[in-house]
Amino acid sequence: MAGSPTVANLITQRLVVGVGELAVSNAVAVTISTYALGSCVGVVAYDPAARAGGILHLMLPDSALSPGKAAAKPAMFADTGVPAFFRGMAGIRAERSRTRIFLAGGACVLSGPDNFRIGERNAEAVNKMLAVYGCSVVGRELGGTVNRTLHLNVGTGALTMKLPDRTVEYLLA
């Protein structure tokens, strides 16, 4: 019957990652999503052997701006969010040496000049933290002037990135 739900649709779960949050999963029926990455940076990690993945949606580069906020919400900042993200990934048996990283966001979405360069600084801070952890990035869609939305299918490692004018598919498996 047209329009009837399939079994796969009934058991599929979506985890939504808000600004300054992260989510990890090794449940194959889960899709992890984050919406409207502007100057924020989305860090997507996927370990194909463990079939485990996650998304970090960080907002600012440096927790020194607000140590109290960083203690309460470490995922808000690059320097505290990346370590928390990798701890979460390790908790679901993902190994950093096998993990494939994709970065998106870091845009300048203001209509005028961005004297603070938040998007650019976020991207720089994430790249610095990933270098500290010895991680290589397999793909990136950083900068520009548009928002991006990400959907990671944990079961397959398929990453869908939606931009205002197109949708792009990546396979992290």
CATH number, domain containing residue 77 = 3.30.1330.200
> What average pLDDT is seen over the chain?
93
Enclosing domain of residue 127: 14-171
63 to each of 46, 72, 149, 160, 168, how far by Cα in Å? 25, 11, 24, 29, 32
Q: What angle do CA 65, 68, 74 make, to 5 degrees?
A: 80
Is residue 8 situated within a structural domain?
no
Share of the chain above pLDDT 70, in %: 92
pLDDT bucket at 1, cuts 50 / 70 / 90? very low
Verify whether residue 40 is a known catalytic residue: yes
Mean pLDDT of 82-97: 97
Is residue 2 situated within a structural domain?
no
Is residue 6 situated within a structural domain?
no
Tens-digit pLDDT profile for residues 24-50: 999 999 999 999 999 999 999 999 999
Is residue 148 situated within a structural domain?
yes
Is residue 9 situated within a structural domain?
no
pLDDT bucket at 136, cuts 50 / 70 / 90? confident
Place of tokens 């109290």: 68
Q: Are 170 and 62 in contact (CB under 8 A)?
A: no
Count structural domains, the chain.
Answer: 1
Is residue 4 situated within a structural domain?
no
| Distance separating alpha carbons of residues 37 and 22, to the nearest angstrom | 13
| Distance separating alpha carbons of residues 25 and 48, to the nearest angstrom | 12
Candidates 27, 11, 49, 61; CA nearest to 152 is 27
Is residue 1 situated within a structural domain?
no
Q: Which of 15, 17, 22, 40 is catalytic?
A: 40
